[in-house]
Homo-oligomer: A and B are copies of this chain.
Amino acid sequence: MQFHYNGFTPGDPTTARIGNPEDTRPRRDPLPEECDVLIVGCGPAGLTLAAQLAAFADIKTCIIEQKDDRITLGQADGIACRTVEMFEAFDFAERVLKEACWINETSFWRPDPETPDHIYRSGRIQDTEDGLSEFPHVVLNQARVHDFYLDVMRNGPGHIVPYYSRRLLDLEVDPNAGTGARASSHPVTARIERSDAGHEGDVETIRARYVVGCDGARSVVRHEIGRKLVGDSANQAWGVMDVLAVSDFPDFRMKAAIHSANEGNAILIPREGGFLVRLYIELDKLNENERVANKNITVDHIIAAAQRIFRPYSLEVKEVPWWSVYEIGQRLCDKFDDVPEDQIATRLPHVFITGDACHTHSPKAGQGMNVSMGDGFNLGWKLAAVLQGRSAPELLHSYSGERQTIAKQLIDFDRELARMFSARPKTGPDDTEGVDPAEFQKYFVQHGRFTAGTAIHYAASDICGGHDNQHLAAGLTTGMRFHSAPVIRLADAKPIHLGHTVKADGRWRVFAFAASDDQGGPDGKIAQLCDWLENGTDSPIRRATPKGADLDSVIDLRVVFQKYHRDLRLDKMPALLLPTKGRHALRDYEKIYCPDLNPGQDIFDMRGIDRARGCMVVVRPDQYVANILPLDDNAGLAAFFQRIMLPAM
């Protein structure tokens, strides 16, 4: 898609419509008095969380935002491969892939040894290693990602539409809260001030079972639960600008990291539509405790700095739709909820913080929006499971436990990347302060999986089994995201990606990979597993599924055989693999899969699955591998779900 070539226009490029259509203008109704979840802030974390909660008609979610409407220009733009996989779970990956700019290669520029005040290309790498994800690394205006989430929220069963022009004043948590029973109460009370025309200064009070602060680096929610962002003070200013510009720089449509000899450093990020580019430009070092706001930096300073760095290439800026100046700093909260470390055993969390509210860092590695959305996705299914009575509220402790660790890793990585990037290029072997741009490139490549978001690895816990059976599926690591692979659907021979069956619907998945000779017949382990899951007294499906609900509504079993799809007989499959669903008791034909036998596409080979024994892979609602078990380990599967799920009522 090409757009912006006659100048920048915000909004959906396919409609060329500026502003919201009739039915998406900001609502003007007052907040309700009560809700299940109050989300503070319509940023990436808050919208991901809201989109997840919108999957449930019986969960009442309110999301508020200080701004008076959806944003049309966003700060963030980098979307990691792993994030596109998550978008697929929310069913809008194809909209992002169509509209975004794909980052296919990254190039590295350094001072030309012959003419040091000129830059030259010292390296060029494939941005994402082959096979790391079925999706590319892309770049798209954060505002459009918001739009896609707002659609999911509005169209979902929970029908969530933000309340804009609302500022959180304060929070109070009932000290007697935390009995854990859903019916108990709405222990958090929030006071919220309106700023929309006719209601300026009106204060509303809302009581919530849970409050989630997605309210950014100056989070009021964080302040109210007494947590602090702790970390390095920033002493380096960067300018960032989105420009429509003409340049003879040869990599003007590639991601490029540029180190100049004496003029500082820059990162170029091509943007959606084929014309827009983003430039991150290093500005002068700040003095200690000097703040950006005091420097009176204008966009002309940034443009001039960019032009100096780009020499000998031209950079003629025609339009600047957005620009900003910021300081690098890596800061982190020690915990992401309202329960002190020493009270975890005795107290339940009711307030959470996500995204920039609990971790801030430089935008250099393009991680901010991605990790924030990961926070929202991680918390969302857990809140839903607890609110719907499927899991005990102790599950909610795992949010801070899992995500604080990830944020810490991000911040350590970002600190090192920022340090290496901001250092001046090494001038020679005796230069101990400079950094060799080749070293920077090496560090960048080494951490490719990290920046792609696919290296996230949750520690063992009740919701993440250990590695006892890792050898049964060497390529599907427990604690890491389920790495998708192609399969053929038996009933209609459609080629699909197995991982794309994991939608953001709060369900757990069990993928049973059949042993080599199993064709689904009654003597095979698949049939025995199905029989037990359908009829066994200790079956987790029987235990967890409410009476009258579809059999796959809580735990969704899908089977992958090893045979060519034409060699299997659908009419010989166990009944649980053709479950009847809905008010007509229609059959669901989408539970049985076969490998794609084209060269290099067999999921058993791609993911190192034990062909002789097969295995079960349990996948969480947020697409992470929760457990790997032998195919006949009924007791192990029952025990796993017993730890994390309550019996259905």
Contact = CB atoms under 8 A, between A and B. Distances in A.
A254 interface: yes
Interface in A465-510: 491-495
B494 A104 contact: yes
A238 interface: no
Interface stretch (A219-227, A381-389, A584-592, A640-648): A584-592
A643 to B, nearest CB: 30
Nearest to A270: B492
A295 interface: no
Nearest to A585: B246
B494 A102 contact: yes
Nearest to A24: B21
A547 interface: no
Nearest to A15: B155
Interface stretch (A390-398, A563-571, A609-617, A625-633): A563-571
Interface stretch (A1-9, A341-349, A363-371): A1-9
Given A252-B491, A253-B491, A586 B246 contact: yes
Interface stretch (A38-46, A198-206, A323-331, A575-583): A575-583
A246 B349 CA distance: 47
Contact of A586 (B5, B16, B104): B5
Contacts of A319: 584
A135 to B, nearest CB: 13
A270 B582 CA distance: 19
A250 B571 CA distance: 6
Contact of A274 (B2, B253, B585, B590): B590
B124 A6 contact: no
Interface in A196-246: 244-246
Contact of A5 (B22, B91, B581): B581
A517 interface: no
A532 to B, nearest CB: 24
A580 B246 contact: yes
Given A104-B494, A584-B319, A589 B253 contact: yes
Contact of A492 (B124, B254, B492, B584): B254
Nearest to A493: B104
A399 interface: no
Contact of A583 (B7, B21, B253): B7
A288 interface: no
A46 B341 CA distance: 67
Interface centre among A101, A570, A585 (most CB of B within 10 A): A570
Contacts of A254: 491-493
A494 B270 CA distance: 12
A511 interface: no
B590 A2 contact: yes
B588 A274 contact: yes
Interface of A: 1-2, 5-7, 14-17, 21-23, 91, 94, 98, 101-102, 104-105, 124, 151, 155, 244-246, 248, 250, 252-254, 270, 274-275, 318-319, 491-495, 566, 569-571, 580-590
16 contacts: A2-B590, A5-B588, A6-B583, A7-B583, A14-B151, A16-B155, A104-B493, A105-B492, A124-B566, A244-B586, A252-B589, A253-B491, A254-B491, A274-B588, A318-B585, A318-B586
